[in-house]
Each structure stands twice: as C-alpha cells, then as structure tokens.
Chain A
Amino acid sequence: MPTITIFKDDLESLLTGEGGVVRGIPMAQLEEWLMLVKGELKGHNPETGELRIELQDSNRPDLWCCEGIARQIRIKQQGRLKPYAFFAETPTSPHHLIVKPGMEQVRPYVAACTAKGYRVTEKGLAQLIQTQEKLADIFGRKRKTVSIGIYQLRNITFPVTYELVKPDDVRFTPLGMETAMTLSEILMVHPKGLEYGPILAVQSLLPILRDAKAQPLSFPPIINSREIGEVRVGDDELFVEVTGTDLRMVILSLNIFAANLADRGATIEPVEVRYPTRTVLGKRVKTPQDLGKPVTIRMKAIEQALGQELGEAMVKQALEAYGYNVSAEKGSVKAKLPPYRHDLMHTMDVVEDVAMSRGYAEFTPVMPAQFTVGGLSAIEQLSDRSRELMVGLGFQEIISNILGSPEQYCRGMRLEGTEWGRTVDVDNVMSLSFSCLRQWMLPSLLRIEAASSRAFYPHRLFEAGDVAIPDGTHELGSRTETVIGALIAHATTHFSEIHSCLDVLCYYLGKDYSLEPLQHPSFLEGRAGRILVSGKPVGVIGEVHPEVLERWQISMPVVAFEVNLSQLADLG
C-alpha cells in the first residue's frame, strides 16, 4: 500500500543492468510489467519522467523502491535471479560492530554493511532516502521495529559500538540543526525527537551508535549525526545500518538495502555484529545474511489450488523466473525465496507466485459447478415486504448515514439523559458530526425533512435500515436491529393520519397491534403511543414535539412512527 515516486529513466537503467540501456519503454508495456509487483500506476509526468506507483503487497517491502520493481521485472525477463555474491561469501577480516550489554532492554538488534563503488547521484539519493523512509515508516511501524541509517564510510573508524548511554552524557550535532545537543535535548527540541521520542519513552538509558573514536554516528531510531550521517551527491563509500526490535526484520531490511545498492553498482562488504549473549542466529551475526530456508511443496497442492496440471518443470521455470531458487523432485518442488524476501508463510504464497509469474491470463476461467440454493434472510424479507407496503402507502424511501452526531440522535430529539437517548459512541472521534451510531430512525427522517421545506408537500418519507441499540447484556455492548420508520409532514397532518398508515402496515404484516399511551420527550404528550404486539413493545408513534421541530428548524407539523422489525420477527 505504499505509494512511491520513481523516474522512468532510472527504472530503465536498472532494468537492463550492465550493457545496453533500453530507453523509451512504452507505458502500456510498463503497466503490464507492474502486474508482476502488484503495482498500480497512479500518475505519470511525461516531461520529467516521474512515475507514481502504488504497491499493494504490504508483505513485500523489497518492492517499495525503484530497484525492487526493476529487479522483479528483470528476473522475469532473464528467467532467473543472478545471485548476489555477498550473501554467500564469508569475508576474511570483516568490520565489526559491537553490541554492548543492556541493549536487549531497549532496542536489541542491529545489522550493517558497507557499500563502495557506487557514486551517489541526485536521483539515486532521492531513492535511497525514499526507501529508507518507506521501510522504517510502514515495514518498521513508524521506526518502532525497524529504522535505518546511512553514513559516509570514510569518516568512520571501526569497530562501531552499539550501546546505552545516559541522556545527558553524549552530545552531537543532529541532522537539521546547527549546534551540538545532548540526547535529552534532541528528544525535547528536535522535530524527529518529538515525533519518534515516544518509542523510547520509558527508557532511562538511550541507545547510541559510536565509532572507535567515540564519534556518535546516530541516536537510533531518532536521528543521525550531521557530521557522519549526512550522505551527499557524489559520495561513493557508504555505511548502512539497521536497528530494531526483531532480528529477522532488521536483517531483512539490510538485505533489501544491500541488494538495492548492489543493483546500482556498489560492492557490498558484510559487517560482523558481535552480541554479548546468544541470539537465535548465534553470538556473531554476519550481515547481510540469507535467512531463507527451502520449503518442499507437493505438486498436487499447487495443481489443486490452481485447478490446472502444470508439471514440475513448468512450476520450476515459473518460480525461477520470479526469483526463487528451485530444485524439482518427483511429485514436489523445493523452493527457496531470494534473500531480500521473507514473506513465505504458507505454501499458498508460493502458489500465487507461480500464477503471477505465468500471468493470470494463462489460466482459463471455469464456472464453479456445484449447486446451491440462494435466498434472503428472514429479516431482509420482512424488511422488503414492509418497504413494498410503505411505497404502496405513498411514501418516498430515503437512505441515510448511520454514523451521526449526538446533536441529531439525542439533543435534537429532547432525549438528553434518557434511556432513549443512549447511543453507541466512537472513542477516537474525528468529527463530532460522525461520532455515534443512530439508535433509532426518526432523526434520519427529520434530517431530510429539515432540508426539504421547499420540496412540495405533503412529505411522506420512510427508511428501513439498521440501528445500534446499547445493551449491557449483549456481548458486543449493543444490538444491531433492523427498523422501519415513517414520517408525514404537511400543514394539516395529525396523529390519525399516521395511525392509519401503521394500521395498514401491521394488517398486511399479519401483526395484531395495540397502542398504549406513552410519555416520550420527542412527541407531544397525549399524542404519542407505544406500539405493542403480543403485549411486547415494538415501536413508537406520535405527533413530533414542536420543540423538536424547532431544534431541527422545521416549520411544518410532523407525525411519525417507527417499528422494530427485528423484534417483530422474533414474535413469530
């Protein structure tokens, strides 16, 4: 679901890798390729070559960048992924990153690598920053679980340490500031400190990355140092680190970054992270690292799910052309995700990749053949029958929002502090106009009446629909019930006019009803009743109280009734 901005010429360069660059790829071709990454073209500026692309798959952070999109298309064209050497090699004397004790309480994990030989261009820098932001924001849940820093390598002396310090013991000049600040000052003053500070809210000691000369690199996950942590156009030696709370997510994020930089021509050198205690991957963790494990999938499962016989060879070919490492056996395939992906939860995830790699158009639709009986629920049938009757009685159907305001549903109806005025309220209110669910229908009808004094009279309106009635005995705290409400407004309307309509409705619904006098704040005293069926209350009827009309600024007499169809249905 992230939307990213990339440039067409940048994408074209990445598509071809080394060798000749193809320019001027037609947009139609591009849109078809985007199917491979579940991408949708949202905008295109032909002059600048800017493309806005929405990536749907929230489990594929590797696709939220120009490099990732290009990679997926490139693999399809070349038939397989060209392996990244740095995942396989074990460097003889790697740089070290030392994690000091205590980090497990705050932000336990870190991964890092260096990238040399890619000279950062203006567009490349914009992409680096965008990828860093999207990964930390969406995949890293607003930096809570993952955040990323990029630095100029030449200013760093290894080993780098990742440790805890007292908030006032370390000072450095953060990005975006002119002067040195302590960590507590950054949290109080710096915009990023204010935005992401809450992640560290309960901590008395704060994390810091420093090099061997004790120069601060950054205060993760808040902000980088301005001296070392600001990458500029023209830099060609970079240091990348990822910190976070989940080791696999941290390493995966670094893998993505490393692959992206490698695709742009950088040589990646892994860094060895040394933890004080064992992690699930041991005490010394080389990063980037391929965490993928091959899974064996029965051919039958794939073919059953896709509804088509494919055979091992075809499945192998399809998966390889989607980046997998595959070996086919009799009746099954063994598939391993590329190291920049970690989204294989179930064999069905592989099945979808087979279908996408082959293209959905390769599958011929077949109608489900099994016989089923269609039908409407009992309440919908009752509601439809009531609606037909109201139409026959000359009423115009209306339809309204269910989410509204206490002003509409309660105060406007003179129901403050009464049982009738209780509503299901929203906790995280955005606008008072949409802050509670309607508990009855009459306000929805008055909403139309209040806006329609110029529409010719008489007005006869009805609505059938759901309401939410607060009910402490119900497991959801409220009951959703279907009601029908009707209103008549004109200069000489009166109780018996609406009573006649109720009478007809009840007659044809086959319900014997009676009215008993009711004191209800929304209606005129002595002109309101409770509708009883088999002795049980199922609704109200009456002349709407003039004060209610005044509150809605309606200057026409209004009579109305409301019947709870759910309760009526329960009475058999």
Chain B
Amino acid sequence: MEWDWHYTGDILPDLLDGLRVTVTATLLGYVIAVLLGLVWTLLRRTPSAVVNQTVRWVTEFVRSTPLLVQLFFLYYVLPTWGITLGPLTAGVIGLGLHYSTYTAEVYRGGIDDVPRGQWEAAVALNLPRSRTWLDVILPQAIRRVVPTLGNYLIAMFKDSPLLLGINVAELLNTAYTTGTHTLRFLEPITLVGVLFVLVSVVSSVLVRRLERRSHATD
C-alpha cells in the first residue's frame, strides 16, 4: 500500500478539528489539575490528622491507578448515582483529577524548598496565616515549580488520547473513525503521530527555556 497524499490532504481538516478537541480537553483539565493539586497540598498541611491521612490515601490511590479506569468510572458509574456527565466533561474532570495528584507533589516540593527564614520572618512580623501563605510562601513556591508544572501539561496532552475510551471525538478517535470509513489507517494514524510529536517537542523546548530562565533569576 502506497502513501496517498491526496487522501492525506482530504482528512487533514477533520484531524485538525480533532486536535482542537484534544487541546481544549488538555487545557481545561490542566486548569483543574493546577488548582486541585494546590488544594490537596494545603489540605495535607492542616493540623487535623484525619484530613491529612484521608487526603494522603486518596491522592495515593488516584495516582497509582490507571487514568483509563478512572475515566470509565466517571463515565459509567456516576450515572448510576444520578450524575450523568457528557463524554468531554467526564474526560476533562478525569484528566484534571488524575494529574492533580501529581501537581500536589510538585507544590509540596516547592513549598518545602521555601527557606525556613521566610516562615520565621512571617512569624516575626506577626502576619496572619492567610497573608503568610498568599503573600510570602506561595508566590515563592509557585515560581519555583512553574517549569515542572509545564512538564505535566505536556504529559496530560499525551494522555489525552485515552479520552477516546469514553467516546470523546479527540484527535486519535477522529483518525480512527476516518480510517474505518475508508479502511485506510496508515495516513490518519501516522499523521496523528506526527502531530503529537510536533506539539510535544515544541512545547518541551519552550518548557526547557522556561526552566533556564527561572534558574537565571534564582
């Protein structure tokens, strides 16, 4: 079988539509992951041992079980409890929830890296707890972890094809459906691969540049 450039040109617009869904799902999921991760980290620092241990085991559980199964859970189990999510919504929530357990670790590392003196200074200045966190600790911690968080954005992008398991019309799913219509899988799936490598390589170059810049300002 020969590579058919004409066919390639025909399917490209459809694939780009799929890519748009992939990117949307990734970005929305990323927003959830970044915010929820911070929530997990802060909850783990509360004095209550019950909250602390619960959060610890919940995040450990989510982190060490497959994203695909979690997506199935959101998509198939929640409706039996009366919560019906559309495929894309379930996908975004699943991606976000799964990766929030990773970003939580990143934040934790970032907060641990803030020098002790900063805490002591906040105490010495008698800053209220909320100001200590919002104006002293978090700005420094988050600046340190931006490149690492960027890497997780790329990781999420690469995990987004899993959404086809719950019928989201993302990039790979579009390619596969196109293929079943024409029985030619070579061009669409190869194109998807090329698009993935392109987006990932370009974004990892950007993240590396970000990394270098944040080292330079340290």
- A and B interact physically: no
